[in-house]
Structure 1
Amino acid sequence: MPGRDIVVIGSRIPDFEKQLEACLAEHCAPDKDIAATLALAQAQFEAGTYDAARASLLAARRRNARFAKQYPVAVANLHHANSVMAGHLGLADSEWSSALDTVSAIKAGMAEDDPRVFLELIELGDAFARAGRFKGSEMRYAGIARRAHKLGLVEIEGLALLRAATLNTRLAEQNHAMFASSARRAIDALIARREPALQPYQVAARQLSFLLAAQTTLGPELDRLVARYPRQPAGAPALLLYAPAIALTASFQGSSNRYDPSPGAVAIFNAGMPPVAMGSYVGQWIDVAYTIGTDGRISEAHISRHGDHVALKGDWAEQVVRAISVRRYAPQVQPSYGCERYTFTANMVAVTGSRLMARDPTPRLVRADLDPETSASPTASNLKPAS
């Protein structure tokens, strides 16, 4: 169609492998090694070869972890990527330990009051939330905000306050009666601040305010709310205003592995998902591509790529596409496009009375952005490190 981007997907993995091999042959500096490794691991991740991506990252960690004092940011980025990759593989212990290693690495070469240390501490709060430790996550955000306030780090304080507001807003998606009031207080407290440096975080807080209101506003009233939202200028990222949780409820009949949506299902933090009996989680990933129109509605949501063992109809993948299809973004001057990776996995846990590891019967749905044009969540993170 005229005016549409054409995306050509090819194998870049051999090129990245050669670049890394050349770097290692020249005994390049640790930060160069890590940069080449992250590029390779990102390509392997996007190709769905998760084990290969993790192997690349672990090899780089063995080579470079000891250089945290000299290269704290690079080593911290490597640990962060390890944490993200472990999450997609369902390796909860490694996901958690790598999140802790990220903080340790940045502290090794930075002063305690350096903003980058605080950023990694906030990421650790995110790891608490992903592990379902919501109270611990909220307490960590609050502690960071208080300390940043004392040190005059206004932007760090704003980010911590925004994370707390985001956490409560996402929990309100699952239990509006219990968490909506906490979310509203957190949002209003941030919006009420007067420091100019907090303005970007207040913009995001107003987005959360809309998300909170949209949880109980459907049909024509939601259309009116969206229509009143300021139109996004050309070049600005798409701004998410309404996104229902991806509700997965098991409805197995024999080996059909069929899922049906349920308003009471919980997806955002994977708490409360129904137990399942999957033979294997290998290759259970999809990329969902979609167009966001000028009116903020989604069109052409479809699975652009997928793992070898994904059932595209009547299973979890279909429910993901369905949930994305009904999202609403702010009106914008021109259409934009998005692409997201979803991995259906389950944590590896110790079997009672044995040293063997097995998959937890409660699954996880892990998400990563593959396109920078969309702004789906203030807390979304990807394998690629933040600058």
Structure 2
Amino acid sequence: MATAPLTAQVSPPPPSAQPAPGRDIVVIGSRIPDYQRHLDACLAEHCAPDKDIAATLALAQAQFEAGTYDAARSSLLAARRRNARFAKQYPVAVANLHHANSLIAGHLGLADSEWSSALDTVSAIKAGMAEDDPRVFLEQIELGDAYARSGRFKGSETQYAGIARRAHKLGLAEIEGLALLRVATLNTRLAEQNHAVFASSARRAIDALIARREPALQPYQVAAQQLSFLLAAQTTPGPELDRLVAQYPRQPAGAPARLLYAPAVALTASVQGSSNRSDPSLGAGAMSSAGMPLVGIGSYVGQWIDVAFTIGTNGRISDAHISRHGDHTKVEGGWAEQVVRAVSVRRYATQAQPSYGRERYTFTANLVAVTGSRLLARDPTPRLVRADLGPETAASTASNLKPAS
């Protein structure tokens, strides 16, 4: 249930400089000004809404990775004002725009916007698609994900189950499989927080999907087998975990790394003097914050890290480290150190060649209204929000040696 990068379906602008003839081509990372110039040129030419949105998403992704969340959100909101009315003609592009705005809002702790933008995503795709189009179902699954991110786990499971039933009636096996997998994933992640309560539900959901016989469901059954390992590993001690991992098939060259064990990010009341609430994919549990005072709005500004790591052929993590971080993040001790510790002990399936990962973690808290006032403050219960950034490139290494501004 990890969040996809904003630019998953768009192309970056051309680099600002082209290699000289006869020289090796070197891939370089485009800077934010390059993306801004590309967008400005697009707007000056009155480009089509889908081109405008693609350029905006590329810019917002760069701004997000640089840690300038407010700038990324401003770019997305401006594009929404320009293009929301074109949902009927460009439903996928406009839906992508709303989805990106929902993701950024989550990292900023803007829970209401995160939720409303998830609803806008579904509305946009419906504006230009038939009700039974698979892409409508995909956005409805994303709405279920938004339920889960906001802690509405029952609503999330109800959403997934409803989609699975409708997809089954329509013969959309792939959509049904994805929805059933989401149910199994949600319960497996919740079992990390409370194994006694959720493990049986997770096991039922996993086994029900694995038992199906339709060929189209095979990819989702493979993923369900992976969840089965995750569930079993939650209560398996070290030596037994080694034997369990050894039973999983070795992944061939070019295949994605398969996560088999991921411990919870163990945030405690000692972190920032309060408890935590997080995306279920992080595996961290929520604790009561009754009676705790609201926190100042600026308390979570610049609280983010990028964790880079290597997955060896033996499936173990090596060199997990903070490659970049926000200006106000304390990298030693506190929440950042606990995130790195949790990542470093993950276990993946053995694989033919090493692979690499990089994930953004934002330590935030929802903005809520202060009782008896129009002022906003941070909820006393923080949340961790994660995004998968993909592995670092050689071009990005130099800028990652110091905190981003």
Following superposition of structure 1 onto structure 2, how do residues 30-41 of structure 1 map, counting pairs within 5 Å? 30-41=49-60
Shift in Å at residue 314 of structure 1? 1.3
- 1:314-356 deviation per Cα after TM superposition (whole angstroms, max 9, x unaligned): 1100000000000000000011110000000000011111121
2:207 is matched with which residue? Answer: 188
- Which amino acid in the other structure matches residue 108 of structure 1? A
Shift in Å at residue 259 of structure 1? 9.2
- Which amino acid in the other structure matches residue 206 of structure 1? Q
8 Å CA contact retained: 1:247, 1:266? no
Q: 2:156 aligns with which of 133, 137, 162?
A: 137
- Establish whether residue 216 from structure 1 lines up as the match of residue 232 from structure 2: no
Q: Distance in 1 between matches of 2:186 and 2:260?
A: 16
Is the partner of 2:358 in helix, strand or coil? strand
1:380 is matched with which residue? Answer: none
2:119 is matched with which residue? Answer: 100
8 Å CA contact retained: 1:149, 1:157? yes
- 1:31-77 deviation per Cα after TM superposition (whole angstroms, max 9, x unaligned): 00000000000000000000000000000000000000000000000
2:15 is matched with which residue? Answer: none
- Establish whether residue 323 from structure 1 lines up as the match of residue 346 from structure 2: no
Is the partner of 2:361 in helix, strand or coil? strand
Q: 1:233 aligns with which of 235, 249, 252?
A: 252
Is the partner of 2:136 in helix, strand or coil? helix
Shift in Å at residue 266 of structure 1? 11
Q: For residues 270 and 60 of structure 1, do their structure 2 counterparts lie closer, same or farther at Cα, with a shift above 3 Å needed? A: farther
Q: 1:268 aligns with which of 283, 292, 296?
A: 283
1:313 is matched with which residue? Answer: 332
- Which amino acid in the other structure matches residue 84 of structure 2? A
- Establish whether residue 22 from structure 1 lines up as the match of residue 41 from structure 2: yes
Count, aligned residues: 360
1:197 is matched with which residue? Answer: 216
Shift in Å at residue 11 of structure 1? 6.0
Q: Distance in 2 between matches of 1:258 and 1:241?
A: 32
Q: Distance in 1 between matches of 2:371 and 2:107?
A: 24
Is the partner of 2:379 in helix, strand or coil? strand
Q: Distance in 1 between matches of 2:53 and 2:389?
A: 20
RMSD, aligned α-carbons: 2.2
8 Å CA contact retained: 1:259, 1:319? no
1:117 is matched with which residue? Answer: 136
- Establish whether residue 66 from structure 1 lines up as the match of residue 81 from structure 2: no
- 1:17-38 deviation per Cα after TM superposition (whole angstroms, max 9, x unaligned): 0000000000000000000000
8 Å CA contact retained: 2:308, 2:391? no
8 Å CA contact retained: 2:275, 2:287? no
Shift in Å at residue 218 of structure 1? 1.9
Is the partner of 2:366 in helix, strand or coil? strand
Following superposition of structure 1 onto structure 2, how do residues 367-382 of structure 1 map, counting pairs within 5 Å? 367-371=386-390
Question: TM-score with structure 2 length normalisation?
Answer: 0.85
Shift in Å at residue 182 of structure 1? 0.4
Q: For residues 354 and 81 of structure 1, do their structure 2 counterparts lie closer, same or farther at Cα, with a shift above 3 Å needed? A: same
Stretch deviating more after TM superposition (349-358 or 236-245): 349-358
- Establish whether residue 53 from structure 1 lines up as the match of residue 68 from structure 2: no
Q: Identical aligned pairs, as a percentage?
A: 85
8 Å CA contact retained: 1:273, 1:363? no
Q: For residues 9 and 370 of structure 1, do their structure 2 counterparts lie closer, same or farther at Cα, with a shift above 3 Å needed? A: farther
Following superposition of structure 1 onto structure 2, how do residues 351-366 of structure 1 map, counting pairs within 5 Å? 351-366=370-385
Gaps of 5+ in 1: 1-6, 374-387
Shift in Å at residue 268 of structure 1? 3.2
Is the partner of 2:380 in helix, strand or coil? strand
Q: Distance in 1 between matches of 2:338 and 2:121?
A: 34
8 Å CA contact retained: 1:243, 1:324? yes
8 Å CA contact retained: 2:275, 2:288? no
Q: 2:167 aligns with which of 148, 166, 179?
A: 148
8 Å CA contact retained: 1:132, 1:269? no
Q: Distance in 2 between matches of 1:297 and 1:68?
A: 45
